Structure 1
Amino acid sequence: MLEINGVPVEDTYCEAFEGIYSRIIVTAKHGWLLKKAAYGATALPSTVFGESEGGIEAWLSPEETPDGRVGAILQIWVPKTKNFMDKLMREMGKRIRQGILVVPTTRVFNATQSDTSFDAEINVGRCGDGYEWEEECWGRKVVVVPIMFGEFTIERYIGYAEGVAGGNVWFFCESEEAALEAGEAAVEALKKVEGVITSFDICSAGSKVETKYPEIGPTTNHYYCPTLKGKIPDSKVPDGVKSIPEIVINGVSLEAVEKAMYVCMDVASKVDGVVKLSAGNYGGKLGKYKIYLKDLVEKFEQ
């Protein structure tokens, strides 16, 4: 069996999907305000329910932002469907208005390198109820919304593009402590990989497509629940494995997702108590992309 740093890598693949993302920069006067906005705007991954999901790609210093204040790069994703534009406008508006605009001193700038964009005056600027106005600031065309605290500023045209969503890696661990250590190491390492987010960070509950309760959406992947080993005849949990965290990755390109998956496997394999590396898929029935773990090892270990 293929190995990374002495840890076996299962001969399998992750199944990833086409998605539409918008990448923005959020800034604020103080770090605590920035964190409130960044976490609030990206909370609750829910693309599986036909809405949107988000994540924090990177934290920025004042030297890295358009207005010279602390900032963060956020990604918001929607499924690639025929009506994705309507959904993107609604979801971006919702997350910006309710997650960022309401946090004092925040501003929003475009960070998507794309030829396509939407007009943020429509789904965010009109929060000014007709009293909003347009200016040229920081070399960008912005909409200024008067609010009770003062002003909220957003770049008028926000880009969007197609990316790859749902890349993932699984860590088979001997203990909960090892699982948390490996998961934390992976999430921390991915902060240095440009263009990717981990919308769940350390995901504790991988799901499957088939379910007894379709009305509530995906349910637990019972084959890989350690506490069901010995209770069900078709458990796929190896002996000695007590926890299986999943790192789910969205990225602006297939290359970015592949690099991020390899980084996750590399750092996790160095944690004591990680006994196998794997990934989740749906039998190749749902996603456009099949990312084979052995291909990643061969590609990035050269």
Structure 2
Amino acid sequence: MKKINDVLVEDTYCEAFDGLYTRLMVTAIDEKRLHQASQDSTALPCTVFNESEGGIEKYLNNKETVDGREGSIIQIWVNKTAGKPKLEHEMAKRVRQGILVVPGTRVYNHSNSEQKIDTMEKIGHCGDGYEWIEERNGREMINIPIMMGDFQIEKKIGYDTGVMGGNIWYYCDSTETAIKAGDAAIKAIKEIEGAVTPFKICSAGSKVETNYPEIGPTTNHPYCPTLKDKIKQSKVPNKTKSIPEIVINGINQKTVKKAMKKTIETVTQYDGVQRISAGNFGGELGKHKIYLHDII
């Protein structure tokens, strides 16, 4: 086994899989509305329920956006097997309910992909036939009349294949340590272009097998600290009180690996972080096996 900052890194791998993603630039009339739209539209990661995952890649200043306002880059993801129609459906839901309803917001394409989604059918027609198309800031925009002016979205949004589900587990001596180290890692990952963390610090890693399939994945009980003295199959070390997971999606495997490495380097700087590991499903879920010892 290897060590980083004197913290043990297990000889294991995370199991990631292919996903389809869109990369959107969101702008707004002020910082409060920008944060609301960015956070609301990317909330509730739920690909395990055959829906979608979202994440905020980074925030932009007014010199970095198409229209000279403050903005953000967000990503919306679905499992690749679900295909373009599913991505179009899920992206449209998140834009309609998380961005369009926030005053003064706009959405632009932020992908160089040749593959495109036409936003007229599932978003533009929110104008109920009163919507129109015009060029603004060099982009073909749909203008949707709403009760506070209009909502603008670029007509063609690019999409591409990326890698979902890269992850790092870090064993901690307390919840306080877990949160402090995890917050620092999330902040550090924002420096990596193309990476998002849909769950931020995730407190509930799951497993494939379950006693209740009707509700989807259930708790990964061997790694629950509160079950340590209650079950024979516990894998929680004696002094470990918290095992968070940071899940990473990225535009390619290189980006995911870079973000995983940054996570390890960041969390291991904190006293109370005891061990680094990763979650996998025995090769049953994804085709990408990213070995921790290969990235550190």
TM-score for both structures, normalised by structure 1: 0.97
DSSP-derived class of the 2:209 partner: coil
Contact 2:20–2:84 (CA<8 Å) still a contact in 1? no
Identity %, equivalent residues: 59
Give deviations 1:212-266, integer Å, cap 9, x for gaps. Answer: 0001000000010011112111111112000001000000000000000000000
Q: Within the alignment, does 1:167 sit opposite 2:166 as a pair? A: yes
RMSD: 0.7
Displacement after TM superposition at 1:84 (Å): 1.6
**Residue in 2 aligned with 1:136?**
135
Supply the distance in 1 between the matched residues of 2:50 and 2:83 (Cα, whole angstroms): 10
Contact 2:76–2:91 (CA<8 Å) still a contact in 1? yes
Q: Within the alignment, does 1:246 sit opposite 2:248 as a pair? A: no
Unaligned runs of 5+ in 1: 298-302
Supply the distance in 2 between the matched residues of 1:37 and 1:174 (Cα, whole angstroms): 36
Amino acid at match of 1:115: E
Amino acid at match of 2:22: S
**Residue in 1 aligned with 2:24?**
24
Displacement after TM superposition at 1:61 (Å): 0.3
Supply the distance in 1 between the matched residues of 2:98 and 2:110 (Cα, whole angstroms): 18
Give deviations 1:107-161, integer Å, cap 9, x for gaps. Answer: 0000012110110111111111111111111011111111110011100100000
Displacement after TM superposition at 1:286 (Å): 1.3
**Residue in 1 aligned with 2:43?**
43
Supply the distance in 2 between the matched residues of 1:78 and 1:112 (Cα, whole angstroms): 16
DSSP-derived class of the 1:62 partner: coil
Supply the distance in 2 between the matched residues of 1:54 and 1:41 (Cα, whole angstroms): 7
**Residue in 2 aligned with 1:71?**
71
DSSP-derived class of the 1:207 partner: coil
Displacement after TM superposition at 1:177 (Å): 1.0
**Residue in 1 aligned with 2:148?**
149
Supply the distance in 2 between the matched residues of 1:139 and 1:113 (Cα, whole angstroms): 15
Map of 1:1-302 to 2, 5 A cutoff? 1-81=1-81, 83-297=82-296
Amino acid at match of 2:225: P
Structure 1 segments (4+ residues) deviating >4 Å = none
Displacement after TM superposition at 1:88 (Å): 1.1
Unaligned runs of 5+ in 2: none
How many residues matched?
Answer: 296
Amino acid at match of 2:30: H
Amino acid at match of 1:70: E
TM-score for both structures, normalised by structure 2: 0.99
Amino acid at match of 2:105: T
Contact 2:47–2:79 (CA<8 Å) still a contact in 1? yes
